[in-house]
Structure 1
Amino acid sequence: MHCNLQTMTIIKTLQEAVRQAMTKDDPDEVLMAFISRIGAFLGAEKAFLFDDTPIHFYCWTAGGMAYDTKRIIQKDARKRLRSWFKAMARQGDPVLIADTASCPDLAPAMKKSMRSSSIHSLAAIGISMPGNRVGALSLENIPPDAMGRADELLRLTGSFILMLLRNRDHIYQLRNNRFIDQMTGVSNRNALDAYQQHINSQVSMGVLFADINNLKETNDKQGHASGDRLICDTALVLLKQRQGGEVFRIGGDEFVIIWQHIEEQKFYRVCCQIRRKFSVQGLNIALGQHWVPEAGESIAPILQAADKHMYEEKRRYHERQGIRD
């Protein structure tokens, strides 16, 4: 009867955790809400969700929920953890360690890593993900009398976490599609609009506008496939030469690169390198650049100044070629 009651309590806790999580709009908040509920239920000091990448991990502490972006896992330690979690995922059973210091199944390097992270006891389960990826939920320093509950809960939790992770990845993909230019792979105008909402107004900024000369002529004489290749070649040069700048395609043949916190000398040097690269590759591109020591509250004037310089260069090119606008 006790076992049945415990199982019912755990199932009810999982259902409540999913309900609570799904009230959140952001997929990261969904995962945080879920693991916080699990961690609190077991009385853990910390609940840590690992997602097979250095940037996707979530950490809840008993002192309050926090998205732990500062818990850096070194490359060697991450490889060991991945191997360990992958073996866990294959066997499908939780790993329960009442005392990490005396556990005979832990390698010395793993014990040292856990000791340095103040992990004295551990309950964890690995999660197999599509594409040979690995996920894992780890509950750190739970009370000894909660180990039995942790075992049963973790056996039921894996499928819920996998569902939430896949839902997050799907949302990320939809977001990326909204902000990525499908032809070139660079950011699009939607991304530029979003980017402008998060600039640092107190740091320097440089903007480079690039506009393809004679794209219409290329389309008319060689076909749109050639015009598309010209657009993609232009984007590729900008991506390879950007040196930390953000590249956006804002029109059919128009691109812009924005650098924040860049020195004036470096900005103009990078612009010259881009110009030389276009010339070497035989790409006829009009460029306009503008740099300011502080971005200010709106980057619109900076964009307009660079755009104006670009159109002046395009006008001079048309005059030399005898082309009427």
Structure 2
Amino acid sequence: MLFDGKAPTGLAGLTAIPLVDVGGSLCGILAVENPTRGEGGCSMLRSVSYSFSMLCQNLCGYITVIAKGEIDALTGLFNRNRFEHDLPGLSGAYADSLACVYIDTNGLRETNNTHGHHAGDKLLRDTAGEIQRWFKGAYSYRIGGDEFVLFIPDMPREAVLHLCKSLESSLISKDIYISVGMHWSDRAIDIDSLMKTAENRMYASKREYYDKLKISDGQRQPLG
């Protein structure tokens, strides 16, 4: 129980002890309100503190295991495991419309080969950071090495397009280039079809990006 400055009504006394884990680190506080004389106070709390410490430790461990199973460690977005788990239910995750945004980070392979994997990791983290910044409330997943998929429920098509352009512009300012494909529907939605259309549009955008490099550099860059 937390309170600021003033004791809650009816609180006449409070006995509390720290809870420490097996490594000796503080993991919580165990307290009893209004202990009566003869209850033992701290002695009683100490007698059950180990059990509560183990409970806290097991709970933290459980949360960590769940997070590792669903969260991409590099970017903080949902991972492919969570994507495949969520996919069947996404058809019911909207009231009026659903948009799928498919994103590929251009040049990841070249960055890894030229500057090392630490630079490639930063490229992906920066991309994911901007995705989280612009697409708050979206279902956002990193589904592959350089690929991200977003599902945005109940947002007008023009608003989704605006966010896609804002994302691209913000990343270009960081010298990061992405290919984006988006498909929006307000009809009976087949998730696989929605995602496939967005993916095809992303690849069309990617071809256009590398065609421009071919014109400017005189040679085709390898797809990455």
- 2:210 maps to what in 1? 318
Which residue in the other structure is 1:193 paired with? 84
What aligned pairs does 1:112-261 form with structure 2 within 5 A after superposition?
Answer: 112=9, 126-129=17-20, 132-136=26-30, 154-199=45-90, 200-203=92-95, 204-261=97-154
Query: Residue 179 of structure 2 corresponds to which residue in structure 1?
Result: 286
Query: RCO higher in 1 or 2 (8 Å CA, sep ≥ 6)?
Result: 2
Change (3 A) 1:160 1:133: closer
Cα deviation code 1:191-247 (max 9, x no counterpart): 212333554344232222111222222333333333232222222222222222233
Contact 2:17 2:46 in 1 (8 A): no
List gaps (5 residues or longer) in structure 1: 1-49, 51-77, 81-106, 115-119
Compute the TM-score of the two structures, normalised by the length of structure 1: 0.54
Q: Which is further off, 305-314 or 195-204?
A: 195-204
Structure ranking higher in helix proportion: 1
Q: Does structure 2 retain, via aligned residues, the 8 Å contact 1:205–1:295? A: no
The 1:222/1:127 distance shift into structure 2, 3 A limit, reads closer
Q: d(CA) in 1 for partners of 2:89 and 2:163?
A: 24
Matches within 5 A, 1:91-130: 109-112=6-9, 126-129=17-20
Q: Using a 3 Å threshold, how does the CA distance of structure 1 residues 181 and 79 change in structure 2: closer, same or farther? A: same
Check whether the contact 2:140–2:149 (CA below 8 A) recurs between aligned residues: yes
TM-superposed deviation, 1:148: 6.2
Do the aligned residues in 2 keep the contact of 1:125 with 1:158 (CA within 8 Å)? Answer: no
Q: Which residue of 1 aligns with 2:170?
A: 277
The structure that has the greater radius of gyration is 1
Number of equivalences = 211
The gaps in structure 2 that reach 5 residues or longer are 215-219
Distance 1:291 1:265 in 2: 10
Question: Quick one: distance in 2 between partners of 1:288 and 1:222?
Answer: 28
TM-score w.r.t. length of structure 2: 0.75
- Which residue type is aligned with residue 301 of structure 1? S
Partner residue in 2 for 1:59: none
- RMSD across aligned positions (CA): 3.4
2-structure distance, mates of 1:308, 1:212? 15
Residue 221 of structure 1 aligns to a residue in which SS? helix
C-alpha spacing 1:307/1:157, structure 2 compared with 1 (3 Å): same
Q: Distance in 2 between matches of 1:262 and 1:129?
A: 47
Q: Distance in 1 between matches of 2:141 and 2:94?
A: 22
Secondary structure in structure 1 of the residue aligned to 2:7 = helix
Checking the alignment, whether the CA contact within 8 Å between 1:206 and 1:258 is kept in structure 2 is: yes
2:172 match: secondary structure: helix
Q: 1:235 to 1:110 in 2, by over 3 A?
A: same
Taking the aligned partners of 2:197 and 2:13, their CA distance within structure 1 comes to 58
